[in-house]
Amino acid sequence: MAVLDILEYPNPVLRQPCRPIEAAELLQPAMQALITDMVDTMYACPGAVGLAAPQIGQPVQLLVMDATAKTDRSMLKVVINPVVLSQSKWKASREGCLSFPDYLITVKRARKVEAHWLDATGQRVDETLLEYEAVIFQHELDHLQGVLFIDRMRNPQRDLIRRSELEASQTNV
């Protein structure tokens, strides 16, 4: 349908906790169009694997994710009103964010997340997410709570890197 503009930090909408989506609201044409637009927007961004509704100015508990990064749509998930049931041990990994296009940050995330949510049709989904999918889920879930990945940074001098610096260091090897 449409590729939407992505809000960048420091837009205040990115700091707002999002409201749950009511069951009756979920099946409305406007909400279904929002879901379609979010999927289209995520796939239109090179390398994107997730997008949360506040990143496009909608403070509702909705995210889309696909760990394949557009190679196919077999892992596309539409996640509405997610609830984390349990998390495993943590590991550090480097993350990017569409709302911080110039930066990568090292963040600690659980390697395994058990959660439930509603899909685009309103059906409950219970799932265990592992490794990369778990990281994507946690990153996007943070957006729904008004938390940004810079909030999870422990040491800015060590954990924050400009994409341009990383690309320059990789070409000088």
Write the CA distances from 73 to 61, 78, 157, integer angstroms.
Answer: 22, 12, 37
Residue 171, pLDDT score: 59
Domain segments of the chain as ranges: 12-171
Please write the tens of the pLDDT for every residue from 6-46.
999 999 999 999 999 999 999 999 999 999 999 999 999 99
Q: Which residues are catalytic?
A: 140
Other beta carbons within 10 Å of 74: 8
- CA distances (Å), origin 98, targets 13, 27, 120, 139: 14, 27, 23, 11
DSSP 8-state assignment for residue 76: -
| pLDDT at site 164 | 81
Smallest CA-to-CA distance from 144 within 75, 84, 74 is with 84
The CATH code that applies to domain 12-171 is: 3.90.45.10
Alpha-carbon dihedral 142, 161, 96, 131, rounded to 10 degrees: -80
pLDDT at 73: 83
Q: Among 133, 138, 164, which residue's Cα sits nearest to residue 152?
A: 138
| Backbone torsions φ then ψ of 84, nearest 5 degrees | -85, 130
Q: What pLDDT was estimated at residue 98?
A: 97
Residues of the chain with pLDDT under 50: 173
Q: What is the pLDDT of residue 122?
A: 97
